[in-house]
């Protein structure tokens, strides 16, 4: 990491050295300056651009290459730097990394991007057809210099970006396998990542190859990277939501305008519908006896106790607290849903008996 103070200084950062015969030197000239961007469509702001552009360039090289970055600080008001996250420098490495500013909490001003070191020897090299790099991040409408002096706890983001935008389409072809390189380049919020009806194989974690491990959801903390292999379905009738869910446990308050769940799409067919992510509730029904010897019905191993005040009366009388699940009484285990939400309920009978299931006064659509 080097710090540039004078606006006329150029910095040369030598990143990797190699002994490899096919290795090459890749040179980038980065003029770092303020540019305008509005990645969430909600607010245009100053962001740190490179050569007048934002999103910033993804650095892509091959294992063993030497990277030389000449950086010019064209920011009119501040010092700056570049940090090569996860790179030891002078040691050949491969995999998924990122670069970011490391001066005065500056990187959430947009000065962060992926750095990919391709490896022809990777054990999964022949297991995919194409690759995509995708960044996740929490996004702020204010400049860091205006946020930093005013907060005691963590700041509350204004949006969550998917590759520096929202609602994007990853164009895919049926039957092909894609390597997705996922990087959380955010300031502090971890995010869940899943693709409806698709599982994947994790092959790299933070620049280290791992035995291919099947998973359906990832939890990606800030600065973490995962490479996953995803095989497409053979049919092109439907598009599938790629869902990111910000970990609300890390946020002190959640303003109603903050969209924690965001939908992007695996786009098999641009003319077909682009469905929104739906909330999924898995329920396993079982009958068991409790300590008093009596039989009870259980959902996911939790029995139900009738509340003192009937639930609908509480809904009508609780006002703003109606969406707070704790007001319905202990052991009633309510699930609070949003108005007009579409919810997928997966109902498993974990018992030897047969049971009917009724949802009072709701329209339901059985899919299977
Ligand atoms: C860097 O970019 C700024 C803003 O676009 C421009 O004014 C300046 O001349 C550039 N400087 C160099 C050395 O390229
Ligand atoms: C630096 O340039 C940005 C973008 O052009 C501008 O918004 C800001 O006011 C300038 N700051 C100073 C200290 O000149
Ligand atoms: C993500 O953004 C980077 C930078 O703009 C771009 O190079 C890359 O192709 C994007 N990834 C996808 C999947 O579109
Ligand atoms: C993805 O496709 C949908 C449906 O065509 C469209 O509404 C959306 O704007 C597209 N996203 C982007 C980033 O172009
Ligand atoms: C797609 O078709 C190929 C060839 O028939 C088959 O091997 C593969 O299992 C199918 N994939 C899926 C996800 O059904
Ligand atoms: C794409 O979707 C449209 C609209 O649902 C459908 O009519 C068309 O047959 C689909 N195309 C392919 C190649 O599956
Ligand atoms: C986000 O999605 C999760 C899981 O799908 C769900 O539990 C949660 O209620 C959703 N939250 C919002 C604000 O939509
Ligand atoms: C219920 O408890 C049993 C035994 O403790 C456990 O095997 C099972 O996974 C639990 N099921 C759910 C849905 O939590
Ligand atoms: C840091 C790291 O994961 N390096 C890997 C680079 O690639 C070779 C194989 O191609 C691995 O053996 C290294 O572990």
> If you write DSSP's letter for every residue of 10-71 in order, what string do you get?
EEEEE------TT--EEEEEEEEEEEEE-TTSS--EEEEEETTBSSPPPEEEETT-EEEEEE
The reply to whether ligand 6 has any atom less than 6 angstroms from the CB of 272 is yes
CA atoms within 13 A on the CB side of 35: 17
Q: What is the pLDDT of residue 1?
A: 38
The reply to whether ligand 3 has any atom less than 6 angstroms from the CB of 137 is no
pTM (whole model) above 0.85: no
Q: What is the pLDDT of residue 365?
A: 73
Domain map of the chain by residue range?
Answer: 1-121, 123-273, 279-349
For residues 12 and 294, give the distance between their C-alpha atoms in angstroms, rounded to a whole number. Answer: 75
Task: Compute the Cα dihedral for 64, 65, 70, 74 and give only its sign.
Answer: negative
| Superfamily of domain covering 1-121 | Cupredoxins -  blue copper proteins (2.60.40.420)
3 state SS of 93: coil
Cα 35 to ligand 2 centroid, rounded to whole Å? 10
Q: Which ligand is nearest to the CA of 7?
A: 1
Which residue minimizes the CA distance to atom 3 of ligand 8?
301
Q: What is the pLDDT of residue 279?
A: 78
Block residue for tokens 């995919």:
128
Which of 7, 31, 72, 77 has most ligand 1 atoms within 8 Å of CB, for mutation?
31
All residue ranges of the chain with pLDDT < 70 are 1-21, 367-368
The answer to whether the 1-121 and 123-273 domains have the same CATH topology is yes
CATH fold of 123-273: Immunoglobulin-like (2.60.40)
- Give the length of the chain: 368
For residues 100 and 108, give the distance between their C-alpha atoms in angstroms, rounded to a whole number. Answer: 9
Which of 50, 54, 55, 137 has most ligand 3 atoms within 8 Å of CB, for mutation?
55
Cα 67 to ligand 3 centroid, rounded to whole Å? 20
280-336 pLDDT tens trace: 788 888 999 999 998 888 988 888 888 899 999 999 999 989 988 889 988 888 888
Which of 260, 335, 346 has most ligand 7 atoms within 8 Å of CB, for mutation?
260
Q: What is the pLDDT of residue 169?
A: 98
Cα 217 to ligand 7 centroid, rounded to whole Å? 14
Cα 31 to ligand 1 centroid, rounded to whole Å? 6
| Atom of ligand 6 lying closest to residue 269 CA | 1
Q: What is the pLDDT of residue 297?
A: 86
CA atoms within 13 A on the CB side of 294: 7
């Amino acid at each position: 990491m080097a710090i540039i103070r004078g606006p006329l200084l150029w910095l040369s950062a030598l990143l990797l050295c190699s002994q490899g015969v096919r290795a090459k030197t890749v040179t980038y000239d980065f003029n770092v300056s303020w540019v305008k961007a509005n990645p969430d469509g909600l607010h245009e702001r100053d962001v740190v651009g490179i050569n007048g552009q934002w999103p910033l360039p993804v650095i892509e090289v091959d294992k063993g290459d030497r990277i030389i970055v000449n950086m010019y600080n064209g920011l009119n008001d501040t010092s700056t730097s570049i940090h090569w996250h996860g790179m030891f420098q002078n040691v050949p490495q491969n995999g998924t990394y990122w670069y970011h500013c490391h001066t005065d909490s500056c990187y959430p001003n947009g000065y962060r991007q992926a750095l990919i070191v391709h490896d022809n020897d990777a054990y999964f090299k022949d297991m995919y057809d194409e690759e995509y790099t995708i960044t996740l991040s929490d996004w702020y409408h204010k400049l860091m210099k205006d946020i930093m002096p005013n907060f005691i706890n963590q700041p509350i983001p204004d949006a969550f970006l998917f590759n520096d935008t929202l609602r994007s389409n990853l164009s895919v072809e049926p039957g092909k396998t894609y390597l997705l390189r996922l990087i959380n380049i955010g300031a502090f919020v971890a995010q869940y990542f899943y693709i409806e009806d698709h599982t994947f194989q994790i092959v790299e974690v933070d620049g280290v190859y791992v035995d291919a491990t099947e998973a359906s959801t990832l939890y990606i903390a800030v600065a973490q990277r995962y490479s996953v292999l995803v095989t497409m379905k053979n049919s092109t009738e439907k598009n599938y939501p790629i869902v990111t869910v910000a970990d609300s446990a890390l946020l002190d308050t959640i303003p109603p305008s903050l969209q924690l769940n965001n939908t992007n799409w695996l786009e098999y067919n641009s003319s077909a519908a682009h469905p929104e992510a739906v909330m999924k509730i898995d329920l396993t029904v079982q009958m068991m006896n409790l300590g008093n010897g009596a039989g009870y019905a259980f959902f996911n191993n939790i029995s139900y106790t009738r509340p003192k005040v009937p639930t609908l009366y509480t809904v009508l009388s609780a006002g703003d607290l109606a969406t707070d699940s704790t007001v319905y009484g202990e052991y009633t285990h309510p699930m609070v849903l949003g108005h007009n939400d579409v919810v997928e309920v997966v109902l498993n009978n974990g018992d030897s008996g047969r049971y009917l299931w009724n949802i009072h006064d709701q329209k339901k659509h059985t899919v299977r």
